A = this chain, B = another copy of it.
Amino acid sequence: MADPKPNRPSPSRLLRALAGERLERPAWWLMRQAGRYLPEYRALRAKAGSFVEFCKSPALAAEATLQPVRRFGMDAAILFSDILLVAAALGQPLDYGDDGPQLAPLDPKDGLATLYRGSISALDPVYETVRLVRAALPPEVALIGFAGAPWTVATYMVEGRSSRDFIAIKTWAYSDPAGFGALIDLLVETTVAYLAGQIAAGADVVQLFDSWAGVLPEDEFARVVIAPTRAIVDRVKERFPSVPIIGFPRGAGLLYERYAAESGVDALSIDTMVPVGFARDRLASCLPLQGNLDPLALLVGGAALAEGVARIRAAFGDGAFVFNLGHGVLPQTPPEHVAALGRLLAAPSAGM
């Protein structure tokens, strides 16, 4: 796909917000807006065996991507996929159990040599999903592609699963910075190709999810979160200079500001713990923001939802802003609460 002409005004409210435009009502979408909380997703999911097979079945993944937009009218669809398809494409067997992803942990001594290098065709079904979704969406609904950032993907590759203390990966990173750096470099390469493939297939925006950015001291954060993100952004932008890249260093806390200044991303997704006052005063002046309702406020609904939405709109309503959660939709969320959120966002805010 050729890079879109930057001078043509976009029909997409998401792209306008990410380009710095202030909208009367915020553009919105939700992380994990497709998925288990939707009965139509659960019915669709039953048509494939493993979760990985489901993600790699373009017709099924495309339908899962479209379901929430059809039901709730978000301003964007986000590709239904999983950040660990990259690990599988590099040669690590991947499975999903009740406790989340399971991989055979990569051995710091010789694991790197076992990974696949070169052009990766295992991700081709994802690009086909992107093509199917883009063809099905109206032009005013943006399609967001995504990848896990190298640090976060590496945590699963080295720990083998969700971790609490990150002992295996930090032991590797701290005791052998060069060897661990080679894994990060490989993930940078792969992620650049993966995002470029999604954009070429029709993604209008891409987001880098660094879900475990919040477990690192500053020096390591600079080395394995900011620097690889910067490398990915620079290289994707060589080919696609006008496709916005949203960064989400979840839990970065006191390091959000440095990430905003140094990572090169076009917009910043902020988690629930970022105070809105700080975000407005210190981050929104650098970059368009996206966030940051507590997924639990959406799950609970009612007054907690209405108050959370009002607080966020009051803080960010004056700038370029995309309404989202601070983390993904939880499977226990009643779909009618998402519909209520859509109605709240469609109404003029009390403060406007």
* Contacts from A to B (Cβ < 8 Å): 162, 164-167, 170-171, 174-175, 214-219, 251-256, 272-278, 292, 294-297, 299-300, 302, 304, 308, 311, 326, 330, 332
- Which of A167, A254, A272 has the most chain B CB atoms closer than 10 A to its own CB? A254
A304 touches B175 (CB 8 A): yes
Q: Which residues of B contact A326 (CB under 8 A)?
A: 217
Known: A166-B296, A254-B254, A299-B167. A273 touches B174 (CB 8 A): no
> What is the distance, in angstroms, from A31's C-beta to the closest C-beta of chain B?
14
> What is the distance, in angstroms, from A291's C-beta to the closest C-beta of chain B?
11
A216 touches B273 (CB 8 A): yes
B253 touches A299 (CB 8 A): no
Partner of A330, one of B167, B174, B256: B167
Q: Which residues of B contact A302 (CB under 8 A)?
A: 175
Identify the closest chain B residue to A213 (Cβ).
B273
- Majority secondary structure of chain A interface residues (helix, strand, loop or mixed): helix
Q: Which residues of B contact A308 (CB under 8 A)?
A: 217
> What is the distance, in angstroms, from A214's C-beta to the closest C-beta of chain B?
6
Q: Which residues of B contact A252 (CB under 8 A)?
A: 253
Q: Which residues of B contact A294 (CB under 8 A)?
A: 170, 174, 217
Identify the closest chain B residue to A297 (Cβ).
B174
Q: Which residues of B contact A311 (CB under 8 A)?
A: 219
Determine the distance from Cα of A165 to Cα of B276 in the docked complex, in whole angstroms: 21
B171 touches A299 (CB 8 A): yes
A215 touches B300 (CB 8 A): no
Q: Which residues of B contact A167 (CB under 8 A)?
A: 296, 299, 330, 332
> What is the distance, in angstroms, from A130's C-beta to the closest C-beta of chain B?
29
Q: Which residues of B contact A273 (CB under 8 A)?
A: 214-218, 251, 253-255
> What is the distance, in angstroms, from A248's C-beta to the closest C-beta of chain B?
15
Jot down 17 A-B pairs with beta carbons below 8 A, ordered by A. A162-B164, A165-B296, A166-B296, A170-B294, A170-B300, A174-B296, A174-B300, A174-B304, A175-B302, A214-B253, A217-B275, A218-B277, A251-B251, A253-B253, A253-B254, A254-B254, A254-B274
